[in-house]
Amino acid sequence: MFQKTLGVIAAAGAVAIMSVAANAGTLDDVKKKGMLSCGVSTGLPGFSLPDKTNKWSGLDVDVCRAVAAAVLGSAQKVKFTPLTAKERFTALQSGEIDILSRNTTWTHTRDTSLGLNFAGVTYYDGQGFMVSKKLGVKSVKELSGAAVCIQAGTTTELNLADYFRLHGLKYKSVVFDTSDQSIKGFESGRCDVLTSDQSQLYALRTKLAKPGNAIVLPEIISKEPLGPVVRQGDDQWFNIVKWTINALINAEEFGITSKNAASMKSSKNPGIQRLLGTKDDMGKKLGLSNDWAANAIMQVGNYSEIFERNVGKGTPLNIARGVNALWSQGGILYAPPIR
Amino acid sequence: MNDFQRSPDLPPPASTVGVVSWLRTNLFSSPANTILTLVGFYLVYSLLVPALDWAIFSASWVGENKDACDHKGACWVFIGQRLDFFIYGFYPKAEYWRINVIFVLLALLIIPQMMENAPHKVLLAWFFLIGFPIIAGTLLLGGVFGLPAVTTDKWGGLSLTLVIAFVGIVAALPIGILLALGRRSDMPVIRLLCVAFIELWRGVPLISVLFMASVMLPLFMPEGTNFDKLLRALIGITMFQSAYMAEVIRGGLQAIPRGQYEAAAALGLGYWKSMGLIILPQALKIVIPGIVNTFIALFKDTTLVLIIGLFDVLATVQAAIVDPDWPEVSTEGFIFTAFVFWVFCFTMSRYSIALERKLETGHKR
Amino acid sequence: MSDLAEKADAAITKPPPWNDPFIRSIFFQIVAIGLLGYFFYSAFENTLSNMSKSGISTGFAFLGREAGFGILMSLIEYDETHTYGRTFFVGLLNTAIVAFCGIILATILGFIIGIARLSNNWLISKLAGVYIEIVRNVPLLLQIIFWSVAVLQALPGPRNSMQLGESFFLNNRGLFLPEPIYGDGFGIVVIAFFIAVAGTIFLKRWAKQRQEQSGDQFPVFYASIGMLIGLPGLVFLILGMPLSWEYAKLGRFSLTGGTNIIPEFMALLLALTMYTAAFIAEIVRSGIQAVTHGQTEAARALGLRNGPTLRLVVIPQAMRVIIPPLTSQYLNLTKNSSLATAIGYPDLVSVFAGTTLNQTGQALEIIAMTMAVYLTFSLTISAIMNWYNKRVALVER
């Protein structure tokens, strides 16, 4: 009897609140909601973190804003869902979010067996090591027997184990749940080494009382291409996200910025015209309006602007472009042309 | 012969009055006690003095950014600058008044409950349990009466903590009552199911329940159905909480003398009528302190929702302390959080103790 | 009474089937089972279809695969090449050991603070009260984080460890103890110890019997201690001390060798102990206060001194009030140990429902196994405490 009552209550509640996602494509869904649901990290400096006006900001966040600007015409129409490492793929699979932009490494397993598609790379990262200067260590290979602080992640722990085993080094891993805990562990001397994606090491170093006392070792032991992820089986949506990223990179190549995008529309360069929607129907082919890329660039900026604003030289993270520079400037960012 | 003259009362011996005697009886009554007292004083001194110095005298109180803190003491500037975030989360600034209205309403409803003889106490209590959640929910969500809609992803900070705790307790109460009645039912199947339900939820840690609600609940649902993330967490917490609530209420049911049940039956009342009119009103009154204690436990446990990416007050503090703009503020952040929780829980536990005293009918010495 | 009247009676009292309480209850129970069955069936079907749709693999085959990650502390032999199944046992044992130690320490500390709360020394009683009110009203997660920071900051680096002789070292990498290396024949010493245990039990029975018959007391306690230490010790000496110690030495980064108690364990144990002790103290206080004053007066009248009054009269009676709430505190402590994940102590949730789950993605199986473990722990503790409760319960005529 009680179970029955419970069941009725639960069913009524479920019917009232459950939103049954249409079987139509993600694009129609997003347009109908007028809102892009974007999964981000719960707090990762430079990538997704609530800023001092209590709004999400960061590189991963800006990728979502760019997609929202391209699809809905406004970079503000994003609903951010903070996700932990464990939840992120289920949230995408179950349709809770439309795009996962959460510092996620593109790997073979994830791409093939989790029902996911990686839409591109927005930041090329790699796993690095930070040690205290007074240890006098110059290379990872001298770290045998060290205690290593790690943040509980998916690939970091495995990379570490693989690398140390390959080189016959011994180690003890101290696994922390949050970055704040791991930097505390490092600072108090609980471990000799802190390992994480290099972008994070720079961010964490700023949290030390004396940042100058720690150095980031030059070795990078893994490739961590980070990028946004979408569900498999919706090619149109996959294309939209993929080409929004390409548009941001192409915009940097053409020198289009958020400031000059409006005036650039009258440019004679056919490549710029195609990108900004004044020539050919590039947006139509994606199922969007032709000013999709122009909207994204004007409201969020090109790749360079996004990078510099969130992780670049002017920020506390102070990361150089490095491999994340354009292919023409010594990096490996190479977006296919929009034509 | 002289009349007997009553001489004035002698003052009590000097050793039983005054500061000195108080000290002697309460602090230095025996050598062992003296040692204990001295050790105690030393402990207090060595802990309290540096703590006060750090937290008050050497602390930085005013400023705009990290430069205002010299890190000789606590950097309360950080808390001041991000206080909005800790209280309102991502809620739009223009709509803060809605949360403030709810806070005021909450205070207005709670204060009469704490007073000895406020008018319409019972009526207000019912309003608190039924009317208030509806009003608060409408205000928070918006989307009607010209209020702009604010989706749950914008909720956060202390207001979210309170929402979770409040919903957890209000929703768990009816389910807990049903479970408690079910556990004492004559029907073996129902009894067995209720016992299994209660023991299952009580036997597992809340973080695994939350994780299940957040990650695995979508798997159990038909394809394409989607719950709000906050709602999923609330379902998990309510299930967990109702099991504890059921045990508290069962305690109350057991304390009702058998005569009451028999009297209700003798009056010809059916099961639901005798429960609703005779047994439950008495049982629930006895267990109010127990319910408040469960609520305190739940309130502290709400910090665990950060494990599934909800921004309660602790999660907002954690997000703020990893901000590279504010180095070395984690101690301040955690102490602030601890203080917030302490104020709430301590007040509630005092209330619960006072209630217990009031309900005490004096069997003990 | 005639047949007719009987029939009439039956006709009056016999209600129609839909009003018969018995039939009604059967009906409701069937409905409940049906609904529950349907609920489980549909959840099961949905899960299967959702999982095959999103390409999530199922089954327990993953337990046999190589884990490939290291774990900081393990009571059994473990390294990266062991299986995921083994990470389960490593996590399980780590949870069990912290819960076990926590329960014992929290009980001791809780009793001390609870008695201190009733002390006639004003300062001590107030200090205990302040302690209880602060600790009880702050979320445990915050306290765990606090203790982990406090422990790490209080301890020196590996190069300036606090040490006791050449064998015990304490630094922020943990407490380093010499590791015993068992030689041949050490098993016989263990056997000797068990014989001594059996002897102690026998001795206690015999002494009790003798006391009941003659009133003479036998110093069972000292005799037992002597037997427990003496017998294995003697065997140990006769066999030529088949045991050596491996000491920790300072290596490149830290101390190597020996056994090591990691600081995360200490921090978690401290936090759990301090937190639970505050609750136990309140339980103990109210338990002792529940023993009526007449009992103490009666004990005094019999000529018992303070110590024996507390030990023989008050505590045994208070225990009856204390045990049930104490049991739920033990359960809470065990479940709360799952918060270890916040500070990097490798317990079941951190290792198995954390790293292993992240790497295999098999949430359903892993969470089910984790919950099953906690459920088993809870039921075991409940069972033990219920058994103990029955033993101390009031035996009435």
A188 and C172: CB-CB below 8 Å?
yes
C238 CB-near residues (< 8 Å, 6+ apart): none
Kindly state whether residues B166 and B283 are assigned to the same domain.
yes
Kindly state whether residues A299 and A316 are assigned to the same domain.
yes
Q: What is the reported pLDDT for C55?
A: 65
B296 CB-near residues (< 8 Å, 6+ apart): B345, B348, B349, B352, C137
Q: What is the reported pLDDT for A308?
A: 93
For chain C, say whether B318 makes contact (Cβ under 8 Å): no
| Any domain includes A140 | yes
Kindly state whether residues A230 and A318 are assigned to the same domain.
yes
In angstroms, what separates the C-alpha of B351 from chain A's closest C-alpha? 32
For chain B, say whether A16 makes contact (Cβ under 8 Å): no
Kindly state whether residues A211 and A248 are assigned to the same domain.
no
Residue A32, token pair as written in the block? 């109908």
Q: What CATH number is attached to the domain comprising A172? A: 3.40.190.10
DSSP string, B296-312: HHHHHHGGGGGGGT--B
How does A260-299 read in b/e, with b if 16+ C-beta sit within 10 Å?
A: ebeebbebeeeebbbbbbbeeebbeebbbebbbbbbbbbb
| Any domain includes B167 | yes
In angstroms, what separates the C-alpha of C72 from chain A's closest C-alpha? 6
In angstroms, what separates the C-alpha of A177 from chain B's closest C-alpha? 9
Q: In this complex, how many residue pairs, one in chain B and one in chain C, have their CB atoms less than 8 Å apart?
A: 143
Contacts of A190 in chain C (CB under 8 A): 152, 172-173, 263
Q: Which of residues A222, A238, A261 is at a domain's end?
A: A222
- Residue B92 or C265, more confident: C265
Residue C171, classed as helix, strand or coil, is strand
Mutate to test the interface with C, among B26, B313, B330 (most CBs of C within 10 A): B26
**Domains identified in chain A, total number:** 2
Task: Pick the residue from chain B with its C-alpha nearest to C333.
Answer: B205
C141 and B218: CB-CB below 8 Å?
no
**Domain extent at residue A54:** 23-124+226-329
**Domains identified in chain B, total number:** 2
| Any domain includes A244 | yes
Kindly state whether residues B86 and B163 are assigned to the same domain.
yes
B346 and C127: CB-CB below 8 Å?
no
Task: Pick the residue from chain B with its C-alpha nearest to A14.
Answer: B227
Kindly state whether residues A189 and A237 are assigned to the same domain.
no
Contacts of B296 in chain C (CB under 8 A): 137
| Any domain includes A7 | no
Q: What is the reported pLDDT for B228?
A: 82
Q: What is the reported pLDDT for A22?
A: 38
What's the CA gap between B217 and B235, in Å, rounded? 10
Kindly state whether residues B208 and B119 are assigned to the same domain.
no
Kindly state whether residues B337 and B283 are assigned to the same domain.
yes
Contacts of B88 in chain A (CB under 8 A): 54
Contacts of B206 in chain C (CB under 8 A): 335
Q: Which of residues A203, A222, A241 is at a domain's end?
A: A222
3-state secondary structure C186-213: HHHHHHHHHHHHHHHHHHHHHHHHHHHH
pLDDT digits (tens, 9 = 90+) for C202-242: 888 888 888 888 877 777 788 888 888 888 888 888 877 77
Task: Pick the residue from chain A with its C-alpha nearest to C47.
Answer: A94
- Binding partners of C (≥3 Cβ pairs within 8 A): A, B
Kindly state whether residues B144 and B162 are assigned to the same domain.
no
Kindly state whether residues B247 and B143 are assigned to the same domain.
no
B303 and C141: CB-CB below 8 Å?
yes
Q: What CATH number is attached to the domain comprising B194? A: 1.10.3720.10
Task: Pick the residue from chain C with its C-alpha nearest to A178.
Answer: C342
| Any domain includes A76 | yes
Residue C107, classed as helix, strand or coil, is helix
Task: Pick the residue from chain A with its C-alpha nearest to B150.
Answer: A79
Which has the closest alpha carbon to C338: C144, C95, C139? C95
Q: What is the reported pLDDT for C4?
A: 60
In angstroms, what separates the C-alpha of B225 from chain A's closest C-alpha? 5
For chain B, say whether C134 makes contact (Cβ under 8 Å): yes
Kindly state whether residues A120 and A131 are assigned to the same domain.
no
pLDDT digits (tens, 9 = 90+) for C24-71: 788 888 888 888 888 888 888 888 887 777 666 778 888 888 887 888
Q: What is the reported pLDDT for A15?
A: 39
3-state secondary structure chain A: CHHHHHHHHHHHHHHHHCEECCCCCHHHHHHHHCCEEEEEECCECCCEEECCCCCEECHHHHHHHHHHHHHHCCCCCEEEEEECCCCHHHHHHCCCCCEECCCCECCHHHHHHCCEEECCCCEEECEEEEEEHHHCCCCHHHHCCEEEEEECCCCHHHHHHHHHHHCCCCEEEEEECCHHHHHHHHHCCCCCEEEEEHHHHHHHHCCCCCHHHEEECCCCCCCEEECCEEECCCHHHHHHHHHHHHHHHHHHHHCCCCCCHHHHCCCCCHHHHHHHCCCCCHHHHHCCCCCHHHHHHHHHCCHHHHHHHHCCCCCCCCCCCHHHCEHHHCCCECCCCCC
Q: Which of residues B115, B149, B183 is at a domain's end?
A: B149
Kindly state whether residues A233 and A323 are assigned to the same domain.
yes
Kindly state whether residues A251 and A199 are assigned to the same domain.
no
- Average pLDDT value over all residues in chain A: 85
For chain A, say whether C160 makes contact (Cβ under 8 Å): no
DSSP string, B38-63: HHHHHHHHHHHHHHHIIIIIS-B---
How does A81-107 read in b/e, with b if 16+ C-beta sit within 10 Å?
A: bbbbbbbbbbbbbbbbbbbbbbbbbbe
Contacts of C124 in chain B (CB under 8 A): 33, 36-37, 40
Across the interface, of C55, C68, C252, the residue whose CB is closest to A161 is C68
Q: Residue C168: pLDDT above 60?
A: yes
| Any domain includes A334 | no
Q: What is the reported pLDDT for A90?
A: 80
Q: Which of residues B109, B128, B149 is at a domain's end?
A: B149
Residue B101, token pair as written in the block? 């209205």
365 residues of chain B, pLDDT tens digit each: 567 888 888 887 777 777 777 887 777 777 888 888 888 889 888 888 888 888 888 878 887 777 777 777 888 888 888 888 888 888 888 888 888 888 888 888 888 777 777 777 778 878 888 888 888 888 888 777 777 878 778 888 899 999 999 898 889 989 999 999 998 888 888 888 898 898 889 889 998 899 888 888 877 877 666 678 888 899 999 999 999 999 888 888 888 888 888 888 899 888 888 888 888 888 887 888 888 888 888 999 899 888 888 888 988 888 888 887 887 788 888 899 999 999 999 988 888 888 878 776 544 43
| Any domain includes A337 | no
Contacts of A135 in chain C (CB under 8 A): 253
Kindly state whether residues B110 and B177 are assigned to the same domain.
no
**Domain extent at residue B329:** 73-91+150-359
Kindly state whether residues A210 and A238 are assigned to the same domain.
no
A20 and B226: CB-CB below 8 Å?
yes
Ranges of chain A with pLDDT below 50: 1-23
Kindly state whether residues B164 and B213 are assigned to the same domain.
yes
What's the CA gap between C85 and C152, in Å, rounded? 32
Cβ atoms B170, C339 nearer than 8 A: no
Kindly state whether residues B233 and B180 are assigned to the same domain.
yes
B364 and C289: CB-CB below 8 Å?
yes
Kindly state whether residues A99 and A34 are assigned to the same domain.
yes
For chain C, say whether B38 makes contact (Cβ under 8 Å): no
For chain A, say whether C361 makes contact (Cβ under 8 Å): yes
Across the interface, of B226, B315, B325, the residue whose CB is closest to A18 is B226
Residue C78, token pair as written in the block? 């473990």
Mutate to test the interface with B, among C57, C119, C123, C306 (most CBs of B within 10 A): C123
> Burial level of C70, CB count in 10 A (0-12/13-18/19+)?
buried
A114 and C55: CB-CB below 8 Å?
yes
Interface of C with A in 230-289 (CB under 8 A): 251-254, 256, 263-264
Q: Which of residues B149, B174, B189 is at a domain's end?
A: B149
Contacts of C122 in chain B (CB under 8 A): 26-27
pLDDT digits (tens, 9 = 90+) for A45-93: 889 888 888 889 999 999 999 999 999 999 999 999 888 877 888 888 8
Kindly state whether residues B207 and B252 are assigned to the same domain.
yes
Kindly state whether residues B155 and B223 are assigned to the same domain.
yes
Contacts of C380 in chain B (CB under 8 A): none
| Any domain includes B289 | yes
Q: Which of residues A222, A245, A260 is at a domain's end?
A: A222
Across the interface, of B26, B40, B338, the residue whose CB is closest to C138 is B338
Q: What are phi and psi of A178, to 5 degrees?
A: -125, 160
pLDDT digits (tens, 9 = 90+) for C108-161: 999 999 988 888 888 889 999 999 999 999 999 999 988 888 777 777 777 777
For chain A, say whether C350 makes contact (Cβ under 8 Å): yes
Residue B267, classed as helix, strand or coil, is coil
Kindly state whether residues A232 and A117 are assigned to the same domain.
yes
Q: What is the reported pLDDT for C21?
A: 73
| Any domain includes B42 | no
What's the CA gap between C140 and C149, in Å, rounded? 14
| Any domain includes B241 | yes
What's the CA gap between A250 and A264, in Å, rounded? 14
In angstroms, what separates the C-alpha of A143 from chain B's closest C-alpha? 27
For chain B, say whether A47 makes contact (Cβ under 8 Å): no
Kindly state whether residues A208 and A260 are assigned to the same domain.
no
Kindly state whether residues B84 and B123 are assigned to the same domain.
no
| Any domain includes B5 | no
A43 and B84: CB-CB below 8 Å?
no
pLDDT digits (tens, 9 = 90+) for C330-354: 989 999 999 888 888 888 988 888 8
Kindly state whether residues A172 and A298 are assigned to the same domain.
no
| Any domain includes A136 | yes
Across the interface, of B151, B224, B309, the residue whose CB is closest to A83 is B309
Give the rounded percent of residues in chain C with a pLDDT score beyond 90.
21
| Any domain includes A15 | no
Give the rounded percent of residues in chain C with a pLDDT score beyond 70.
93
pLDDT digits (tens, 9 = 90+) for C269-285: 999 999 999 999 999 98
Confidence of residue C7 (pLDDT cuts 50, 70, 90): low
In angstroms, what separates the C-alpha of B142 from chain C's closest C-alpha? 31
